[in-house]
Chains A and B, each alone.
Chain A
């Protein structure tokens, strides 16, 4: 069966690949900064934009970009001030965002919950030619920011104090990152949906960093993994008739576990060989060196 004989399948696949590349490319900075779940929150906020777009008969995608970008700027300002009450402010924003979206969609002409599900969980098979053009343009913009600004965004995410003393435009870079994250959320809306977008920003990065040694390598490997799971996921979801977004995300998580177990096995084998004297001893690790599995816990605490 050649499912790619159909135009709509090609569009679905291309849309998924754009998402698969751009989400981890920007996600690597969010994981670095321990803001892994920020994409999830922005997805919630974007739903209000979708609702507004449907209600006002303008483009839901455009309104979602605007709403998510506004949300991203608010989040960045809260983060910058570092207030403990920031947590509560973010909760208000996220849950207000998703509730506002639901109510606005109900009020619009397309009040059916079907269109809501489309945005929440994605529907790559209904990607129109116009949708795909928008996704390609926005996706290219996200990739350009993520790759061309890497040294500067890395510096800001890795050590913000040092970046300040280097005279970097820290606030501008933070806002660029926040707005690019918002755009990524909207790009991914069609392919995996607003509720699952964060998974594609985080899981490929979490997987890649178990086998990589540097930031650039992690970024490239995560983008590769993102492309792989989204492409294969869309194909598989058609073959076994499951939701494409959820299938892509489950594949990504399966990949994470395979790599985790594989990496642990390699480490254990090396450890055993080192103890028997076959390999030179490694330099001492530090307690600060977080193992990749710490990520999940931190992500929940940090968002």
Chain B
């Protein structure tokens, strides 16, 4: 099992966000986690990565309890994008190089393999020619592709993406779908949080719908974006 969540409870300031949620993901699956804003879908993914503490329950990654898990290079994580333009400029290549740190020994200089992996990841997302530019001049969709390249650069087995298509232009969405198809074709496993499926729909093997901190659907992907999945968010 690649990812297992068992009876997980997460609470923010005493308010339950996830209520005894259980979920298992096998190798090769492409799982979409759907739900309205505030349903707990992002929290589910963050808790799976150990970014949010569990009040109760357990998370296992690659059959290892989270607190003993050390194989982080097997995971490629794409956080929700929150304006990549931070205080100090960073080039596209510098950000993508972060993706190699899980594999690179501490205090070791970057190897040829590290640099090649960064170049390949950038080619995969169609940004090979932008590597020396500051991330802040890229469009929102391009910045999202930088974060995906960063996750791919480490050569992961499991890709975990939090709202990878939110506010992303059509070209970037198509490119992203192509990247995922390639990744899955090589035996990779994908779990991603989304508001709407768009061009990703044909790739999905399974959909999970979260509502008020509970999983209310686990199985075939919904037919359209406008059905029971997130009635209130359809307009968005």
Contacts and interface: CB of A to CB of B under 8 A. Distances in A.
Contacts of A158: 86, 90, 95, 98
A207 B142 CA distance: 27
Interface in A151-202: 151-152, 154-155, 158-159, 161-168
A259 interface: no
Interface in B123-167: 132-134, 136-140, 142-143, 150, 154, 160
Contacts of A149: 107
Given A151-B97, A168-B101, A161 B51 contact: yes
Given A148-B107, A286-B139, A162 B150 contact: yes
A31 interface: yes
Contacts of A205: 88
A104 interface: no
A285 B83 CA distance: 11
Contacts of B82: 288
A72 B142 CA distance: 37
Interface in A31-73: 31-34, 36
Given A162-B77, A166-B101, A286 B94 contact: no
A33 B87 CA distance: 7
B72 A167 contact: yes
B90 A215 contact: yes
Contacts of A287: 83
A230 interface: no
B75 interface: yes
A155 B89 contact: no
A215 B104 CA distance: 19
Nearest to A152: B101
A214 B142 CA distance: 17
B144 to A, nearest CB: 11
B138 A283 contact: yes
Nearest to A28: B88
Contacts of B50: 164-165
Contact of A286 (B85, B87, B89, B93): B85
Interface string B91-109: 1011101110110101100
Contacts of A162: 77, 79, 98, 150
A298 interface: yes
B73 interface: yes
A212 interface: yes
A161 B91 CA distance: 19
A165 B77 contact: yes
Contacts of B97: 151
A88 interface: no
A288 B137 CA distance: 10
6 contacts: A148-B107, A154-B94, A154-B98, A161-B51, A283-B142, A288-B84
Interface of B: 49-51, 70, 72-73, 75, 77, 79, 82-91, 93-95, 97-99, 101-102, 104, 106-107, 110, 132-134, 136-140, 142-143, 150, 154, 160
Closest 9 CB pairs of A and B: A288-B83, A167-B72, A289-B85, A289-B136, A214-B91, A165-B77, A166-B102, A32-B88, A213-B134
Interface of A: 28, 31-34, 36, 148-149, 151-152, 154-155, 158-159, 161-168, 205, 209, 212-216, 218, 282-290, 295, 298
